Structure 1
Amino acid sequence: MLPMPVLPLLAWLLPLCGALGSRVAIWPWWTGFAICLVGALCSLWLLLRLPWHPRRAVALLGALPLVLPVWFLVKALQAHPINDVSTDPLDPPTLRWASQARSAADLPINPAPLKFFPDNPAPLYTRANRPQVLAEARDLMTELGWQHSVSGQGLEAVVVSPWFGFRDDVALRLFEGPKELRIDMRSASRQGRSDLGANRARIQDFLTRLHGRLAKAQGTTSEP
């Protein structure tokens, strides 16, 4: 058996190495997950041994990284089993850039219609004109660190997650109606069958921020 000081060190280093290695493409994401799982098992062992071990402070320190996989499990149980979310599930924005960027190891792009769930995000309506919306949306994407480009429908972007470096594809589509401009968004994961609610949260956060920027530019304070 490894001495107790080594197990706490492994419990902390293995998740960091697993995630960092996946982010810089040293190994695929599932290998990073496996390394993190080994670290979680070290933390679990330390937690189980905690009541009987004389160096409880050291064991407790090594058990703390177990919080992350537990949080991950809770999120997985609460989230919808979905990895592609759009404000218009029946006719979602097209992921043209993603169709060129995704590799054979990535998930294929889901055809329409997408799965619909009760708390599906809604489109944003605005009286701002198309150039103004495009400008504000591009500035916001740049501010968020998204790699983006202009498309025929509006904008497309690639978002890199901060932990494992997962790449998600985003499309923003503008449709000019008689009185208002409708803004639809789509966010799709390249890996994993469940996104733990990340795509839905990303769309809602982006449209809320975009609405605030447009309202500020127009001098209004209306709700989205």
Structure 2
Amino acid sequence: MNIATLTLKLAIGSLLLLVIGVTGTRAEVFGYQTGLLMFSLAGLLSFISISASALFTRRAKQEKDRQRLNKAALIALPAIFFFSISLFHGAGAPLIHDVSTDTQNPPEFIKAATLRKPSDNDLHYAPANIPLQRQAYPTLKTLESSHTVTEAQKRAYKIASEMGWLVYYQQEGHIEAQARSFWFGFIDDIVIRIQVTESGTKIDIRSASRVGKGDLGANAKRIMAFSELFNQDDFI
């Protein structure tokens, strides 16, 4: 087997690992660890394929080998693209999976515990997260509002819906929802707590991943996006 043929097979392998890893994880055919391993291997094989193609295409003596190397580079593009995007989005994110605007008294989940599997992360906010979160996301803070609890809750619910979250539980001053990651379909649980203050209300948001030690910054970005929308005067 020559270099061109081997490179093409590695590229095809990267694409297969990418598709199987993602679809298998979303369908819960296997655990997320297996899916992430396959995703990482897909990225590695695609990198090797593209590197080999760049290195050997001009050196190949036969036209069919050059065609195979070019084809390998194209087939390997999806895996290297999505793997690179994941690395870029998660760059600098701390190894935590539970983020809250109030780290001293995080909002408590009520319904989420009944929706999680025994193997999922528990809902205890670890004190060790506090310095890591503060260093990585210093702008995360409690939202202050002049709205009443009812008004703030309606606004929070609308924003959650606009952001594509599935709200599965609420009571006065309390909303719980879930969000799925685009790629693997990982579920994160979100709780919004609304409390009365002298000037109106204060709103705290907590977002926690069901699986994994880290979240590539997804939970913090979700809270930041929610906070930005909530603070927009023109958001109805």
TM range, normalised to the smaller chain? 0.7 to 0.9
Contact 2:98 2:125 in 1 (8 A): no
Seen in structure 2, the aligned counterparts of structure 1 residues 31 and 217 have a Cα distance that, compared at 3 Å, is: closer
Alignment partner, residue 41 of structure 1: 44
Decide which structure has the larger Cα Rg and report it.
2
* Structure 1 portions without partners, runs of 5+: 219-224
Alignment partner, residue 182 of structure 1: 202
Q: Secondary structure in 1 aligned to 2:130?
A: coil
- Partners of 1:88 and 1:29 in 2: how far apart? 29
- Select between 87-96 and 55-64 the one with higher mean Cα deviation: 55-64
State the TM-score, normalizing by the size of structure 2: 0.82
Alignment partner, residue 216 of structure 1: 234
Aligned ranges for residues 142-181 of structure 1 at < 5 Å? 142-148=161-167, 149-151=169-171, 153-181=173-201
Aligned ranges for residues 59-74 of structure 1 at < 5 Å? 59-64=72-77, 65-74=79-88
- Partners of 1:146 and 1:74 in 2: how far apart? 24
Seen in structure 2, the aligned counterparts of structure 1 residues 216 and 67 have a Cα distance that, compared at 3 Å, is: closer
Q: Secondary structure in 2 aligned to 1:216?
A: coil
- Partners of 1:201 and 1:44 in 2: how far apart? 28
State percent identity of aligned pairs: 28
Alignment partner, residue 85 of structure 1: 99
Alignment partner, residue 123 of structure 2: 109
Alignment partner, residue 52 of structure 1: 56
State the TM-score, normalizing by the size of structure 1: 0.86
Contact 1:20 1:163 in 2 (8 A): no
Which letter does structure 2 place at the counterpart of 1:108? Answer: D
Which letter does structure 2 place at the counterpart of 1:27? Answer: F
Q: CA RMSD in A?
A: 2.2
1:14 aligns to 2:29 (yes or no)? no
Which letter does structure 2 place at the counterpart of 1:195? Answer: D
Seen in structure 2, the aligned counterparts of structure 1 residues 92 and 10 have a Cα distance that, compared at 3 Å, is: same
* Structure 2 portions without partners, runs of 5+: 58-65
Aligned residue among 143, 147, 170 for 1:124: 143
Instruction: Give deviations 1:23-55, integer Å, cap 9, x for gaps.
Output: 121221111112223322321321232211423
1:133 aligns to 2:160 (yes or no)? no
- Partners of 1:75 and 1:130 in 2: how far apart? 35
How far does residue 3 in structure 1 lie from its aligned partner after superposition?
Answer: 5.2
Q: Secondary structure in 2 aligned to 1:96?
A: coil
Contact 1:84 1:186 in 2 (8 A): yes
Which letter does structure 1 place at the counterpart of 2:141? Answer: A
Aligned ranges for residues 182-201 of structure 1 at < 5 Å? 182-201=202-221
- Partners of 2:24 and 2:81 in 1: how far apart? 21
Instruction: Give deviations 1:8-34, integer Å, cap 9, x for gaps.
Output: 333223212211211121221111112
